[in-house]
Amino acid sequence: MAEFDFIVVGAGSAGCVLANRLTENGKYTVLLLEAGGSDLNFWIWMPIGYGKTFYRKSVNWMYLSEPCPELNDRVSYWPRGKVMGGSSSINAMVYIRGQKEDFEDWKAMGNPGWGWDGVLPYFKMSETNDRGGDGYRGGEGPVHVSTMDRDLHPTCQDFIRAGEELQFAHNPDFNGATQEGVGTYQNTAKDGMRMSTARAYIRPARKRPNLAIEKHALTTRILFEGKRAAGVAYSQHGMMREARARREVIVSAGAVNSPQLLQLSGVGPTDLLRQKGIDVVHPSEGVGRNLQDHLAIDYLFRSRVPTLNDQLYPWYGKLWHGLRYVLTRRGPLSLGVNQAGGFVRGRPGEERPNIQLFYSPVSYTKAPPGKRPLMNPDPFSGFLLGAQPTRPTSRGHLEIRSADPFEPPAIHPNYMSTDHDIDEMLQCSQLMRRFAEAPAMARLIECEIAPGPQVQTDEDMIEDCRQRAGTVFHPVSTCKMGPNPGEDVVDSRLRVYGLEGLRVADASIFPTLTSGNTNAPAIMVGEKAAAIILEDIKD
Ligand SMILES: Cc1cc2nc3c(=O)[nH]c(=O)nc-3n(C[C@H](O)[C@H](O)[C@H](O)COP(=O)(O)OP(=O)(O)OC[C@H]3O[C@@H](n4cnc5c(N)ncnc54)[C@H](O)[C@@H]3O)c2cc1C
């Protein structure tokens, strides 16, 4: 049986970082196992290809949640990357770290080393900001972060002016001294092409003799010798294989699959494991619990001025912009869909920004699976305003349906299940209307298409959220880090409680959801996990 010092399960945002950093000094061998295949795919590398990979089975797990009672029993569609780079290969590329206070909260919850001072060096280490490094931003890291201003749609400036009219300051850098304010987003991209963690961390490392990468390798079980993780079993091209880990198995399969793999391997809630006929290796009630996610509401407007719809809807527009992209890597196809936005307080009394905003100068009617809405915008001038509460208090869970590793887990997001979250969804809706009435935006708007003028009262707005709000694909915390072995899954050094030689390192360990998009913090977790592991193995 093949033997390695470390086995990393999952080549996603965090897993790719670990594979690179643990092989960097040449002392250790690493096996990186990825259930998906290569990321050499035009639709992955071209930013607007997001619309294509969104529903593409060859690179996407395409999960569906269970019906959510508070969303009128609607099922949520949960894309997750199943490809080298994981979700960083199919995401919308917005680069946001979160608020300093998020990490101070993590520390205060009993996680020494995870306060702002403890995580900032790893954010910086991972990043090359195209504006250069400084006290906050990185200048020499693998992940390139790009300012898109020269190609932004001109109406982004109207959005920012509207924010200023509402007394929200213009913030030129959401990842600098403060996150608060309105402005334009930066993307994880370089030269008009997506910067996934496969591109940033694996491409430079893949020829190292001490790094073995196995694609289309679905890890089905962690193999234990007593309480020690000794290796893994995986399925590849219809064959079952095994590999041994001399030192550690590191699970980086993401917020859906990391808890799934632990449960399949006998680490999870005792009753659940018994029910599914799985031998309990170690009871851990927290595995799959504490699920948190961002839920957003969009307002759709018909515009008086041309938007990206006018450029991308006609066939000749697609052709022109396609050619322009191929020849120059410029133009709207080189950008993500969320061009401007911000972080604001939904009400004056809020302690810190509690709402994230998105402005997309393009509109599309969300299509069922199989359709590719972003490449086919609406046939009229239109744009979207979106908003989401940054720190929801609703908690869901996920669990395996059976002992079959190929069967997707049952996901219960439990959105909008607290009064706090219902109130913040209302704040989001009210804020969208305030933006629409601000003079700089009002002059662009011909009419509001969704939800439309019939939605007026607070009750109408809340019902509209139950009817239309959707995930923005940031599930976290299903293998939560914390000080209580009874409830938490890993300690502050990411070791799974009660077991040896086993860590979890990805977005599933976040103690709470960060205020913003989750790719940058997942990469930071990968960086910090690698540093912790190298420190812990003392030879
Ligand atoms: C559609 C979409 C849009 C998003 N937009 C943004 C955005 O604009 N900005 C942002 O910051 N964040 C965004 N996110 C969220 C962000 O990308 C994720 O939070 C982040 O990538 C999570 O990193 P991770 O390492 O935890 O998991 P992932 O990156 O999902 O990696 C997990 C990896 O493990 C592999 N794997 C799973 N199970 C197994 C197994 N059993 N065996 C082997 N391999 C396995 C998976 O195939 C995958 O490659 C978006 C996500 C999606 C899906």
What pLDDT is attached to residue 51? 80
User: How many other C-beta atoms are found inside a 10 Å radius of the C-beta of residue 277?
Assistant: 8
In a domain, 497, yes or no: yes
Is there an atom of ligand 1 within 6 Å of 91 CB? yes
Residues 345 and 242 in one domain: no
* CATH of residue 301: 3.30.410.40
- Asked whether 529 lines ligand 1 (CB < 6 A), one says no
Count other C-beta atoms under 10 Å from residue 488's C-beta: 24
Ligand 1 center to residue 329 CA distance, Å?
Answer: 25
Q: Which residue is listed with tokens 């009435």?
A: 437
Do residues 158 and 209 both lie within one domain?
no
Looking at the structure, do residues 179 and 221 belong to the same domain, yes or no? no
Q: Looking at residue 372, what is its pLDDT? A: 42
Is the distance from the beta carbon of residue 293 to the nearest atom of ligand 1 less than 6 Å? no
33 CA distance to ligand 1 middle (Å): 15
The model's pLDDT over 383-394, given as tens digits with 9 standing for 90+, comes to 999 999 999 999
Q: Give, for ligand 1, the residue of 91, 187, 400 to mutate: max count of ligand atoms closer than 8 Å to Cβ.
A: 91
This prediction's pTM: 0.97
Do residues 247 and 228 lie in contact, with contact meaning Cβ atoms separated by under 8 Å? no
What is the reported pLDDT for 1? Answer: 83
Question: Which pLDDT value is given to residue 374?
Answer: 55
Residues 245 and 358 in one domain: no
Residues 343, 456, single domain; the answer is yes
Pair (287, 378) in one structural domain: no
Do both 8 and 29 map to the same domain? Answer: yes
Residues 203 and 261 grouped into a single domain = yes
In a domain, 401, yes or no: no
Q: What is the whole-number distance in angstroms between the Cα of residue 71 and the centre of ligand 1?
A: 24
In sequence order, the 6+-apart residues with CB closer than 8 A to the CB of 114 are: 103, 106, 107, 481, 492, 511, 528
Ligand 1 contact via 292 beta carbon (within 6 Å): no
Q: Which two tokens stand for residue 453?
A: 């003028």
Please state the domain count of the chain: 2
Q: Looking at the structure, do residues 422 and 496 belong to the same domain, yes or no?
A: no
Q: What per-residue confidence (pLDDT) applies to 369?
A: 42
Is the shortest distance between the CB of 13 and ligand 1 below 6 Å?
yes
Q: Which atom of ligand 1 is nearest to the CA of 36?
A: 47
Question: What residue owns the CA closest to ligand 1's atom 47?
Answer: 82
pLDDT in tens, 250-264: 999 999 999 999 999
**Ligand 1 within 6 A of 29 CB?**
no
Q: Which of 506, 518, 525, 527 to mutate to test the pocket of ligand 1 (most atoms within 8 A of CB)?
A: 518
The three-class DSSP label of residue 336 is coil
301 with 178, same domain: the answer is: yes
- What pLDDT score does 371 carry? 44
CB distance 160 to ligand 1 below 6 Å: no
- For residue 299, is it within any domain? yes
- The enclosing domain of 259 has a CATH number of 3.50.50.60
HEC per residue, 288-313 = CCCEECCEEEEEEEEECCCCHHHHHC
Active-site residue set: 474
502 CA → ligand 1 middle, Å: 20
Is there a domain that residue 27 lies in?
yes
Buried b vs exposed e over 289-322: b needs ≥16 C-beta within 10 Å? bbbbbbbbbbbbbbbeeebbbbbbbeeebeeebe
Cα(285) to ligand 1 centroid in Å equals: 24
Cis before 379 (ω within 30) = no
For residue 254, how far is its CA from the centre of ligand 1 (angstroms)? 6
- Close Cβ partners of 195 (under 8 Å, ≥ 6 residues apart): 93, 143, 144, 145, 146, 188, 189
Phi/psi of residue 301, each to 5°?
Answer: -125, 145
State in Å: Cα 526 to ligand 1 middle: 12
Beta strands in 396-521 (DSSP E): 397-399, 410-412, 445-450, 470-471, 502-504
Q: Is 90 in the pocket of ligand 1 (CB under 6 A)?
A: yes
Give the H/E segment covering residue 245: strand 239-251
**385 in the same domain as 315:** yes
- Enclosing domain of residue 179: 149-184+295-389+418-468
Question: Is any ligand 1 atom within 6 A of the Cβ of residue 409?
Answer: no
- State the Cα angle at 47 between 46 and 51, rounded to 5°: 100
Q: Give the residue, by CA position, lying nearest to ligand 1 atom 24.
A: 254
Residues 6+ away with beta carbon under 8 Å from 244: 1, 2, 3, 4, 223, 230, 231
Is the residue at 66 inside a domain?
Answer: no
8, 20, 87: residue to mutate for ligand 1 pocket, most atoms within 8 A of CB:
87
Let me know if residue 123 belongs to a domain.
no
CB 87 near ligand 1, within 6 Å: yes
Contact 47, 93 (CB under 8 A): yes
Domain-ending residue, one of 468, 484, 499: 468
The label of the residue with tokens 């010092």 reads: 5
User: Is residue 105 assigned to a domain?
Assistant: no
> How would you class 163 by CB atoms within 10 Å of its CB: exposed for 0-12, middle for 13-18, buried for 19 or more?
buried
Question: Which tokens sit at 462?
Answer: 């809340």
User: Is residue 413 in a domain?
Assistant: no
d(CA 401, ligand 1 centre) in Å: 21
- Residue 461 Cβ inside 6 Å of ligand 1? The answer reads no
Per-residue pLDDT of the chain (539 residues; tens, 9 = 90+): 899 999 999 999 999 999 999 999 999 999 999 999 999 998 999 887 888 898 899 999 999 999 999 999 999 999 999 999 999 999 999 999 999 999 999 999 999 999 999 999 999 999 999 999 999 999 999 999 999 887 889 999 999 999 999 999 999 999 999 999 999 999 999 999 999 999 999 999 999 999 999 999 999 999 999 999 999 999 999 999 999 999 999 999 999 999 999 999 999 999 999 999 999 999 999 999 999 999 999 999 999 999 988 888 888 777 877 888 777 777 777 777 789 999 999 998 999 999 999 999 988 765 544 444 556 788 899 999 999 999 999 999 999 999 999 999 999 999 999 999 999 999 999 999 999 999 999 999 999 999 999 999 999 999 999 999 999 999 999 999 999 998 999 999 999 999 999 999 999 999 999 999 999 999 999 999 999 999 999 76
pLDDT for the residue 336: 73
Question: For atom 14 of ligand 1, which residue has the closest CA?
Answer: 91
CA-CA distances (angstroms) from residue 469 to 51, 74, 77, 397?
Answer: 19, 10, 12, 19
Question: What does the pLDDT read at residue 47?
Answer: 85
Same domain, 337 and 252: no
